[in-house]
Amino acid sequence: MKKIINNPESVVEEMLEGIVNAHPEYVKRLEGFNVLVRADAPVKGKVALVSGGGSGHEPSHGGYVGKGMLDAAVAGEVFTSPTPDQVFEAIKAVDGGSGVLLVIKNYTGDVMNFEMAAEMAEMEGIKVDSVIVNDDVAVENSTYTTGRRGIAGTVFVHKIAGAAADKGLELKEVKRIAEKVINNVRTMGMSLTPCTVPAAGKPSFELAEDEMEVGLGIHGEPGTHRDKIKTADEITEHLLEKIFNDIEVNEKDEVAVMVNGLGGTPLMELYIVNRKVKDILQEKGIKVYKTFVGNFMTSLEMAGCSVSILKLDDELKELLSAKADTIAFKQFEE
Amino acid sequence: MKKIINNPESVVEEMLEGIVNAHPEYVKRLEGFNVLVRADAPVKGKVALVSGGGSGHEPSHGGYVGKGMLDAAVAGEVFTSPTPDQVFEAIKAVDGGSGVLLVIKNYTGDVMNFEMAAEMAEMEGIKVDSVIVNDDVAVENSTYTTGRRGIAGTVFVHKIAGAAADKGLELKEVKRIAEKVINNVRTMGMSLTPCTVPAAGKPSFELAEDEMEVGLGIHGEPGTHRDKIKTADEITEHLLEKIFNDIEVNEKDEVAVMVNGLGGTPLMELYIVNRKVKDILQEKGIKVYKTFVGNFMTSLEMAGCSVSILKLDDELKELLSAKADTIAFKQFEE
Amino acid sequence: MKSTELMIKIIDNIATTIHENKEYLTELDAKIGDSDHGINMDKGFKMVQEKLHAVKDKDCGTILKTVAMTLVSTVGGASGPLYGTAFLKAASVVSDKKEINKDDIVKMFEEAIMGIKMRGKANKGDKTMLDALIPAYEELKKSIENNETIIEAFDKGQKAAYEGVEYTKKIAAKKGRASYLGERSIGHQDPGATSSYLMLKAIYDTLKEAK
Amino acid sequence: MKSTELMIKIIDNIATTIHENKEYLTELDAKIGDSDHGINMDKGFKMVQEKLHAVKDKDCGTILKTVAMTLVSTVGGASGPLYGTAFLKAASVVSDKKEINKDDIVKMFEEAIMGIKMRGKANKGDKTMLDALIPAYEELKKSIENNETIIEAFDKGQKAAYEGVEYTKKIAAKKGRASYLGERSIGHQDPGATSSYLMLKAIYDTLKEAK
Ligand SMILES: Nc1ncnc2c1ncn2[C@@H]1O[C@H](COP(=O)(O)OP(=O)(O)O)[C@@H](O)[C@H]1O
Ligand SMILES: Nc1ncnc2c1ncn2[C@@H]1O[C@H](COP(=O)(O)OP(=O)(O)O)[C@@H](O)[C@H]1O
Ligand SMILES: [Mg+2]
Ligand SMILES: [Mg+2]
Ligand SMILES: [Mg+2]
Ligand SMILES: [Mg+2]
């Protein structure tokens, strides 16, 4: 295991210290908890957004705490969902009187821990609601299973629901908009290398020099299948095909695109993927409203990428274009 | 070689297409050249900044084209400096009548190719001047050698000289400020893994599972020495020690810090490094004015990091805090 | 032995059993999950063990609630809230009681399972801890209704749990992380069912020994 | 043979030589640089070769200027501007000339070296192409001053260049990418000096053959 760390047990603690040291103008830490909240929390009268999950997905989620996105991010151990007491503290710290929306990625652990926290908060009289992001088309959706996972599409939920809250909308409205994003976003990913959880010390799976893993989540778990490495264009075609099998996007529809790196892939390759995404969308007559290329939802040092497509309407377009000022996602108003 | 690419020969071309597709509101491409210029270039009356170099350092330099930073970025082949005709086109395209400043990283090839371009531009009556960034303390400085290399500190030059140009300062002033940054910035780096130039197809050097390479540049060239992997704290101590051996920073001085990832290192590790940077500076009584953590000047998928320290005065502080709106570096005014 | 004393002993033994099986549970999770079940559970029960001393003179409800809250706030993942909820629901049956009877035990077990179902929205056959716990509960209940001893009841219960663990090898996961593997999860035994079996076995062993 | 015709032949042969030594030059650069010298040079001279036909009826100055500009705009790195400048300076000596003499040759060589020095700010002993070119120039000049033939002059020149390449193995680099290695560059031969030697050797071979 080659990592620039001190001690596998303390990576989350030291990372959080490093984040707060670097960006005191954006975030502060809740003492004794692995929770980052906006430096100016709680924002009176605004619906607060709380998200989080296991660590190892940086800049998710701490990097999205700030104006126009999250009010708090709760950091679990690497790839392990945080416990309800941590989430509960986050909720209490950011509630500005207008209620709190939890943005949860669809993993059994995350869902249950966040829901328990919501119950605890409700017992204290805080208005809490939640949405569950499930954008990963690698996994089939069904009410009889755990359903699709939440991956990079979550960042669109943070951005757009964050803008809605920033606009002063009430909890019910912010939730409606978050759910609209969730219904309209789909993601599919692949990787060239596994990643190593510091505490485990060895890679989560093995891949031969000419192999790639397709349809995997963001926790180092194996994907839906293994394949010989293809060209960037072929990979992109496959990812988009899976997405369009799952969601109908028609000619003249407008979309936002996110080409997300998993942590170990150079930007150069992500842009090569984006080139093909644009080509394919153009062929289908789909209009690209906005494109995001970079490391938004990572799996430690995993090499690989995911492509997300978000179908837009006027409401989502306006909120997606709104100002955001966080550590890792900054956008000027248009 | 595990890469998401189509063809090693065409990575730069396809990357540039992907960048322009993704961010048409920021950059446009000079047809027939590997040059990205501001979407609104030339900006009349403003001193224009042109930088560039080999590709493979993304988001450098195309990612820094935009308001408050660069007017053009010239992209050579991977790790190969661009030719003078490319740089010349960039100069012509962005000159807004107030002259052009070239920001060159100190490599023999870059310096010579950019200087030839400057000569060509001067022959056409364009006012051109240049600065050479040499922040890498791994290499000893001397007028009898090539001197120190230019690495991550270059981004500070882009930011601060870019802000000076944006403020409407004249070429001489913008150059003076760029040189002040260069005189006050030092960087030292290390890596855990080599990187692979697509056209070469194999790693630039070999490192054992327990080894790291210290004092290396950003072109996959071997460093000044090899060592057993140390803890993040020990590594950080060593990097800062080399920096402070080269530049005097005293108690009460204010600095900007950049913890830069080389492309394959997760943000988590960069923040763990930053935690120690902050500790060491605090012990020395040095005040941190601003901290930047992320992938700013990379070496393809190399795992590793560099730390840069920039000594500040009031002028530099003001310019560093000024608004910037580029693809990869956005900052709201304070 | 007083009920509370026995309960403390049982929980202490559960913690020791989980610790001894930390690697084993983690390896099972590596096959179809994310290799942390043993690590998570051990972290939680280690903390439980540390807190036992402070509640040893309290009632059964308080003891179980302490276990529940400790698991909830240290285990994380899926198993933390599930086992936490189970202990919390069991606690609610015996709040303020220092002595408990057979009926309490059946009711506690029943409430625990209902808590897990409510929290995780899973059912028998989904390849989860419920595949060990539900058959165990049914056998234990039947045994007690037949007026057998508590020890006999838990012996039947733990044996049924073992069968349940074996059964999880034959089915595909529908809930939890293993469900992403779909059919590829067949052939592997469920880590959560295994930890449930180990806990029931520890209860049985403690009761037998304490007799 | 006319000077221009001979010049075209020489440049064509230089291009072929560089192409044959593409791997060799790149491997030398891998040791102390960034493994691209052969790739860069071959790319440039391939393009030169393509453009030769279009200028074959032009004067020597135009031919050399075309070579220069092609190298400058295709080679990149350090060697592109250096060799480009060298050919450009040589071209300035013979602009408009269709026939050139011995003195022109000495002057062209001298100007080329001055161009490289001006552009790269290096000198003899810095472990660069100059360590092949300067001794070659000195020997060639002496030979011509002694009224030896052009062929003899280039023979002595290429031999001196070869010695220069050997000498680069003994010294540490002070300029270019290899200088970052400091003392660690000792023991390796300089790729740029090697390509310079190969070019001089190609000139000599062509002259000898054309005689
Ligand atoms: N919805 C559910 N209902 C009941 N048990 C579940 C559910 N989801 C997962 N489990 C149990 O949890 C176990 C995994 O626990 P653990 O590895 O600690 O959590 P995680 O999957 O979050 O890493 C599974 O083996 C399974 O028995
Ligand atoms: N300042 C200089 N003056 C003269 N020759 C130089 C100088 N710097 C480098 N060289 C020559 O250039 C050669 C390297 O060329 P090349 O590999 O094509 O460029 P780069 O170093 O940019 O990759 C060196 O071997 C050396 O002979
Ligand atoms: Mg887990
Ligand atoms: Mg080079
Ligand atoms: Mg697990
Ligand atoms: Mg080279």
Q: Which domain holds residue C192?
A: 3-210
Of A99, A225, A103, A84, nearest to A154 (Cα)? Answer: A103
Cross-chain Cβ contact C72/A80 below 8 Å: no
pLDDT for the residue numbered C37: 94
Retrieve residue D198's tokens.
């190969």
Averaged confidence pLDDT in chain D: 96
Q: Which ligand is nearest to the CA of C173?
A: 1
Which pLDDT does position B224 carry in this prediction?
A: 81
Using CB atoms, list chains with 3+ pairs below 8 Å to chain C. Answer: A
Token pair 């930073």 is found at: B69
Q: How far is the C-alpha of D156 from the C-alpha of A42, rounded, in Å?
A: 84
CB spacing of B23 vs A269 below 8 angstroms: no
The answer on pLDDT for C38 being more than 80 is yes
CB of C38 shorter than 6 A to ligand 1:
no
Q: What pLDDT score was predicted for residue C40?
A: 93
**For the residues C78-89, what does the mean pLDDT come to?**
96
For A193, B274, C53, C173, the CA distances from B3, given in Å and listed in that order, are 10, 29, 56, 34
Asked about B61 being catalytic, the answer comes back as no
End-to-end CA distance of chain B: 44
Q: Which of B253, B260, B272, B247 is nearest to B304 (CA)?
A: B260
Distance in angstroms (rounded) separating the CA atoms of residues A65 and A68: 8
CA A123 to chain B, closest CA, distance in angstroms equals: 35
Residues 6+ apart with CB under 8 A from D165: D131, D132, D189, D190, D193, D194, D197
What residue of C is the nearest CA neighbor of A225? C181
Cβ of C174 closer than 6 Å to ligand 1, yes or no, is no
pLDDT band of residue B256 (cuts 50, 70, 90) is very high
Out of B22, B273, B293, whose CB is closest to A271?
Answer: B22
Q: For ligand 2, is residue D191 a contact (CB within 6 Å)?
A: yes
- Secondary structure element (H or E) that encloses residue A172, with its range: helix A171-184
Whether D168 shows a pLDDT value over 90: the answer reads: yes
Does the beta carbon of A109 lie inside 6 Å of ligand 1? yes
Over its C-alpha atoms, chain C yields an Rg (Å, rounded) of: 16
Q: Give CA B305 to chain center in angstroms.
A: 13
Q: Which atom of ligand 2 is nearest to the CA of D77?
A: 22
- pLDDT at position D18 is 98
Task: Please say if the pLDDT value at position B249 is more than 80.
Answer: yes
Measured CA to CA, the distance from residue B4 to residue B198 in angstroms comes to: 10
Distance from CA of A109 to the nearest CA of C (A): 4
Give which of A81, A92, A83 is closest to A56, Cα–Cα.
A81
Binned at pLDDT 50, 70 and 90, residue B141 comes out as confident
* Of A87-101, B69-83, C28-42, the least confident: C28-42
**Alpha carbons A136 and A189: distance in angstroms, whole number:** 8
Both tokens of A189, joined, read 């990913």
- Domain A8-183: give its CATH superfamily: Dihydroxyacetone kinase; domain 1 (3.40.50.10440)
Whether the per-residue pLDDT at B261 is higher than 90: the answer is yes
- For residue B158, CA distances in Å to B25, B37, B299, B317 come to 20, 14, 18, 14
User: What is the pLDDT at residue C181?
Assistant: 83
User: What ligand 2 atom has the least distance to the C-alpha of D29?
Assistant: 17
**For residues C44 and C17, what is the distance between their CA atoms, to the nearest angstrom?**
13
In three-state secondary structure terms, D211 is coil
CA distance C199 to A316: 50
Nearest CA to ligand 1 atom 15: C79
D40 vs B219, which has greater pLDDT? D40
Å from CA of D34 to ligand 6 middle: 4
Among C28, C34, C37, C188, say which to mutate for ligand 1: greatest number of ligand atoms within 8 Å of CB.
Answer: C37
Residues of A in contact with C74 (CB under 8 A): 83
- For the cut 80, the answer to whether the pLDDT of residue A334 exceeds it is no
- Indicate the DSSP class of residue C183: G
CA distance B330 to A323: 12
Asked if the Cβ–Cβ distance from A303 to B275 is below 8 Å, we say no
Ligand 2 in contact with D130 (CB < 6 A)?
A: yes
Summarize pLDDT for A177-206 with one digit per residue, the tens: 999 999 999 999 999 999 999 988 888 788
pLDDT for the residue numbered C41? 97
The pLDDT of residue B102 is above 90:
yes
Cβ C191 under 6 angstroms from ligand 1: yes
Tell how far the Cα of B280 is from the centroid of ligand 1, in angstroms.
Answer: 43
Phi, psi of B260 (to 5 degrees): -105, 130
Atom of ligand 2 nearest to the CA of D40: 18
Probe site for chain C from A35, A112, A188 (most C CB atoms < 10 A): A112
B238 among known catalytic residues: no
Angle at A275 between CA A274 and CA A279, to 5 degrees: 110
Q: B233, B232, B257: which is closest to B244 by C-alpha?
A: B257
pLDDT at C22 over 80: yes
More confident residue, D30 or A11: A11
The three-class DSSP label of residue A185 is strand
> With an 8 Å Cβ cutoff, are C77 and A80 in contact?
yes
Domain ranges of chain B: 8-183, 185-331
Beta strands in C77-202 (DSSP E): none
Q: Do A5 and B303 touch (CB under 8 A)?
A: no
Name the band, by pLDDT with cuts 50, 70 and 90, for residue A312: very high
pLDDT at B139: 84
Written as six digits, the tokens of A248 are 């109908």
The rounded mean pLDDT for chain C is: 96
pLDDT, residue D122, reads 96
How far is the C-alpha of A115 from the C-alpha of B203, rounded, in Å?
48
Q: d(Cα B65, Cα B50) in Å, to the nearest integer? A: 9
Distances (CA, A) of B315 to B158, B174, B256: 15, 12, 13
Chain B residue numbers touching A298 (CB-CB < 8 A):
266-267
Q: Which ligand is nearest to the CA of B80?
A: 4
**Cross-chain residue pair B109–D35, CB shorter than 8 Å:** no
pLDDT of residue D34: 85
**Across the interface, which of B209, B265, B330 has its CB nearest the CB of A330?**
B330
CB-CB under 8 Å, C120 with A83: no
pLDDT tens-digit readout, D80-127: 999 999 999 999 999 999 999 999 999 999 999 999 999 999 999 999
Pairwise CA distance, residues A202 & A205, whole Å: 9
Which residue type sits at A180? K
Q: What is the CATH number of the domain that holds C192?
A: 1.25.40.340
Residue D180: pLDDT band (50, 70, 90) is confident
**CA–CA gap between residue A105 and residue A57 (Å, rounded):** 12
Q: Is the CB of C77 under 6 A from ligand 1?
A: yes
Is the domain spanning A185-331 CATH 3.30.1180.20? The answer is: yes
Q: Which residue of B has its CA nearest to D82?
A: B112
**Rounded alpha-carbon distances, angstroms, from residue A106 to A36, A131, A160, B43:** 21, 9, 18, 48
- How far does residue D2's CA lie from ligand 3's centre (Å)? 81
Q: Is B192 helix (H, G, I), strand (E, B) or coil?
A: coil
Nearest CA distance, B142 vs chain A (angstrom):
32
The candidate with the shortest Cα–Cα distance to A151, out of A44, A246, A57, A88, is A57
Chain A interface, mutation test: which of B12, B271, B321, most A Cβ atoms within 10 Å?
B271
Asked if A81 lies within 8 A of C175 by C-beta distance, the reply is: no
Taken in order A91, A92, A95, A100, the sign of the CA dihedral is positive
Picking from D73, D181, D182, the nearest residue to B85 by CB comes out as D73
Distance CA B19, CA A267 (A): 10
pLDDT of residue A219: 84
Residue closest to C109 by CA, chosen among C82, C87, C84, C78: C87
Give the residue, out of D22, D79, D123, D194, with the most ligand 2 atoms within 8 A of its beta carbon, to mutate for a pocket test: D79
Cβ of D81 closer than 6 Å to ligand 2, yes or no, is: no
Write the CB contacts of B166 (distance below 8 Å, at least 6 apart in sequence).
B46, B67, B68, B322, B323
Distance CA C30, CA C178 (A): 10
A294 Cα to the center of ligand 3, angstroms = 26
Ligand nearest to the CA of B219: 4
pLDDT at A160 over 80: yes
| Average pLDDT along chain B | 96
- Does the pLDDT value for residue B72 go beyond 90? yes
CA distances from B237 to B240, B241, C73 (A): 5, 6, 36
Confidence at B217, pLDDT banded by 50, 70, 90? confident
Please report which helix (H) or strand (E) contains residue A189, including its range: strand A185-191
Residue of the CA atom closest to atom 24 of ligand 2: D192
Q: Is the pLDDT reported for residue D186 higher than 90?
A: yes
> Do residues C193 and C164 touch, judged by C-beta distance below 8 A?
yes
Please, which contacts does A24-27 make with residues 24 or more away whose CB atoms are closer than 8 Å?
A: A26/A65, A26/A66, A26/A325, A26/A326, A26/A327, A27/A62, A27/A65, A27/A66, A27/A327
- Tell me which of A23, A61, A158, A219 is the catalytic residue: A219
Q: Which helix (H) or strand (E) holds B185?
A: strand B185-191
Residues of C in contact with A151 (CB under 8 A): none
Q: What's A192's DSSP letter?
A: S
- Residue C34 CA to its chain's centroid (Å): 20
Distances (CA, A) of B264 to A276, B236, B259: 23, 18, 14
Q: How many CB atoms lie within 10 A of CB C47?
A: 16
Which residue CA neighbors atom 8 of ligand 2 most closely?
A: D176
Lowest mean pLDDT among B196-210, B263-277, B278-292, C94-108: B196-210
Q: What's residue B200's pLDDT? A: 84
Q: How far is the CA of A103 from the centre of ligand 3 (A)?
A: 19
The C-alpha atoms of residue C144 and residue C151 are separated, in whole angstroms, by: 10
Ligand 6 center to D78 CA (angstroms): 7
| Helix (H) or strand (E) run with residue D20 in it | helix D3-20
B175 three-class SS: helix
B11-to-A211, A232, B21, B123 alpha-carbon distances in Å = 21, 10, 15, 33
Q: What is the mean pLDDT of residues C45-71?
A: 96
**Does residue B10 have a pLDDT over 90?**
yes
Examine the pLDDT at B245 and tell me if it is beyond 80. yes
pLDDT (0 to 100) of residue A208: 94
Reply yes or no on whether the pLDDT at B221 is more than 90.
Answer: no
- Given pLDDT bands bounded at 50, 70 and 90, which one contains residue C170? very high
CB C90 within 8 A of CB C109: yes
Per the structure, the count of domains in chain D is 1
Distance B34 CA to ligand 4 centre (A): 17
Q: How far apart are CA B35 and CA B30, in angstroms?
A: 6
Interchain contact B/A (3 or more Cβ pairs less than 8 Å):
yes
How many angstroms does the Cα of residue B53 sit away from the middle of ligand 6?
14
User: A331, B330: Cβ pair inside 8 Å?
Assistant: yes
Angular region, B278: left φ>0, alpha ψ -120 to 50, beta rest: alpha
pLDDT of residue D22: 97
β pairing state of B128-133 and B100-105: parallel
C181 in contact with A, Cβ within 8 Å: yes
Q: Which residues pair with A213 in a beta bridge?
A: A191, A226
pLDDT of residue A140: 79
| pLDDT one-digit tens code per residue, B18-37 | 999 999 999 999 999 999 99
Confidence of residue B257 (pLDDT cuts 50, 70, 90): very high
Ligand 2 pocket mutation, candidates D37, D168, D195, criterion most atoms within 8 A of CB? D37
